[in-house]
Amino acid sequence: MKTLAARFLKGIVRPDPLLDDGTPQIAFVGRSNVGKSSLINSLTGIKGLARTSSFPGRTQEINVFAVERQYWLDLPGYGYSKHSLEKKRELHRLIDWYLFKSGCRPKRVVLIIDAVVGPTDNDFEMLRALEATDMPFVVVANKADKIKKGRAEARWRELRAGLESHKLIPYSSQEILGRKELAEELFGLREHR
């Protein structure tokens, strides 16, 4: 897949005119350390575009990137136990505000789960909230490279069964897996090959 035209615009923590300019928004959400920022880098083909870290809790603002003709929003992760209670509340409020109160209505929410761990209670909570507000979303199982090749198909079946009818895309930010399918989901079939 080709490298996408992408650049960092800004980190936001409150309403911003940028979000009201009519550009379609894609929001990347998931628990802390699941690989949201890594996925943005691998999908655009630009290493270092979004800051990643082996320590959970790296992203603490909504980082907005212009990617082709969309805005991609790298949201902070939820559920990082070592943040102070106050920090957890602050990040939770920010995620909640953007998704459910800002009126932004992203074109697609990409809910990222860990392929090995599977959906956690926090992931299900997010999934239910997205369902309840009729938000168009797709579930991506990241870190698929950690699943043994011989086990992979059974694992995707298992994960899909637990997610009812929702679409699940196995993905790896480290190996080339799932990029084409996810890009098609975000841009539509004709624009991206």
Query: Which residues contribute to the site for Mg ion (CB under 5 A)?
Result: 36-37, 58-59
Residues in the chain: 193
- Picking from 186, 179, 98, 95, the residue whose alpha carbon sits closest to that of residue 138 is 186
Judge contact between 170 and 178, C-beta under 8 A: yes
Answer yes or no whether residue 90 interacts with ligand GTP by CB under 6 A. no
Question: Which residue in 59, 70, 71, 168 binds ligand GTP (CB under 6 A)?
Answer: 59
Rg value, the chain, Cα? 16
Which range in 32-40, 64-72, 103-111, 183-191 contacts ligand GTP by CB under 6 A? 32-40
Opening angle at CA 184, ends 167 and 94, nearest 5? 65
- Picking from 139, 78, 72, the residue whose alpha carbon sits closest to that of residue 106 is 72
C-beta closer to Mg ion: residue 44 or 59: 59
C-beta closer to ligand GTP: residue 40 or 163: 40
Site string for ligand GTP, 68-87 (x = CB under 6 A): --------xx----------
- DSSP states of 42-84: HHHT-TTSS---SSS----SEEEEEETTEEEEEPPPB--TTS-
C-beta closer to ligand GTP: residue 35 or 106: 35
Position of minimal CB gap to ligand GTP = 77
Which range in 9-17, 51-59, 118-126, 131-139 contacts ligand GTP by CB under 6 A? 51-59
- DSSP states of 169-192: EE-BTTTTBSHHHHHHHHH-TTT-
Binding residues for ligand GTP restricted to 139-178, rule: CB under 6 A: 142-143, 145-146, 172-174
Binding site for ligand GTP (CB under 6 A): 30, 32-38, 52-54, 56-59, 76-77, 142-143, 145-146, 172-174
